């Protein structure tokens, strides 16, 4: 039977599907594997189910051996995958788009509300048992009605974020690879920074988008603007973000992903104008199960000689 190597725990529904297609081995280590551990673990595998913290590249394919047919990345982004190197060795690459759109957009909008309405700051105040009383100037945040949301990357998650913002009375501007058939306004990145009260990042991590939000971009944003990042951490230069917050250049930031994950820029940790969550964008039972099941279906299809459902082309 084909050997299927799964680099970290996945839901049972996905394991059961994989077991119908081959012999499944799931890593027993509750942490990312080191490169050496990863290469040893996949040796002899016909299929690899990997996570976003795994480097899935030519070296992995060489470690697996000539029988490797498919690498399934349990994520919609695939910046951790060297697609050309794997394709050059005849390995099919798949990802898990679509199934995490609503969960990630929900989390992104939750972070937007948390930072603009100072929810984390308020909760910390209560948990610390700090004395307080209601008055009209107490913990004032920023309302959303009539404000502008700028969306960087208008794919499925970006469009879902726009729908949620429209329901709160926000105007939408966006920038991306091309203009789309939508009521939202397509603008340049420079105009988006100039007009947006909140900038929400939904672009993939590529060489072009690494540190897209740098010191210059932060200076270009409106004074009093907020930044939300639920895409990939390295899109934001966290040191530059800390500098901008310390200087009062922007009002706040909400981050679900981090430049050197799981580490966080130390200067962000103690700030009340920053909301942080540990990569929870897709973290619902339903969504994480659907992601793993889609990865398993892709593996099963390739091992059976059928086209995968969601192939990533080089």
Residue identified by tokens 């309405």 is 117
Distance of alpha carbon 241 from alpha carbon 217, whole angstroms? 10
State how far the Cα of 298 lies from the Cα of 288, in Å rounded to an integer: 16
Catalytic residue among 8, 279, 288, 297: 279
Query: Residues with Cβ < 8 Å from 241, sequence gap 6 or more?
Result: 213, 218, 227, 253, 265, 268
Q: 195, 261, 271, 311: which is the annotated catalytic residue?
A: 261
Q: Would you say 279 and 261 are in contact if contact means Cβ atoms under 8 Å apart?
A: yes
Contact of 259 with 229, CB cutoff 8 Å: no
Structure token digits, residue 23: 């012999």
Is 246 a residue of the active site?
Answer: no
Partners of residue 92 on adjacent β-strands = 70
53 tagged catalytic:
no
**Residue 202 annotated as catalytic:** no
Q: Which of 164, 232, 288, 297 is catalytic?
A: 232
Catalytic machinery residues: 232, 261, 279
């Amino acid at each position: 039977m084909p050997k299927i190597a799964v680099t970290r725990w996945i839901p049972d529904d996905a394991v059961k599907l994989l077991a119908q297609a081959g012999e499944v081995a799931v890593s027993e280590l509750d942490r990312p594997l080191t490169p050496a551990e990863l290469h040893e673990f996949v040796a002899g595998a016909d299929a690899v189910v990997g996570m976003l913290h795994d480097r899935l590249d030519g070296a992995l394919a060489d470690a697996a051996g000539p029988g490797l047919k498919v690498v399934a990345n349990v994520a919609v982004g695939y910046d951790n995958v060297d697609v050309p190197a794997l394709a050059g060795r005849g390995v099919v690459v798949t990802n898990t788009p679509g199934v995490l759109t609503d969960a990630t957009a929900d989390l992104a909008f939750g972070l937007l509300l948390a930072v603009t309405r100072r929810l984390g700051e308020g909760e910390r105040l209560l948990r610390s048992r700090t004395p307080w009383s209601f008055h009209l100037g107490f913990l004032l945040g920023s309302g959303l009605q009539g404000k502008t949301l700028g969306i960087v990357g208008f794919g499925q998650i970006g469009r879902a974020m726009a729908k949620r913002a429209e329901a709160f009375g926000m105007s939408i501007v966006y920038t991306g690879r091309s203009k789309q058939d939508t009521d939202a306004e397509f603008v340049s990145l420079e105009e988006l920074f100039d007009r947006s009260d909140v900038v929400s990042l939904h672009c993939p991590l590529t060489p072009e988008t690494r540190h897209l939000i740098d010191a210059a971009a932060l200076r270009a944003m409106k004074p009093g603007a907020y930044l939300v990042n639920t895409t990939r951490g390295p899109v934001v230069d966290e040191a530059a973000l800390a500098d901008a917050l310390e200087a009062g250049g922007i009002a706040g930031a909400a981050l679900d992903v981090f430049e050197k994950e799981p580490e966080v820029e130390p200067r962000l940790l103690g700030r009340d104008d920053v909301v942080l969550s540990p990569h929870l964008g897709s973290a619902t039972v339903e969504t994480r199960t659907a992601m793993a099941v889609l990865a398993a279906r892709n593996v099963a299809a390739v091992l059976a000689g059928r086209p995968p459902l969601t192939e990533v082309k080089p």
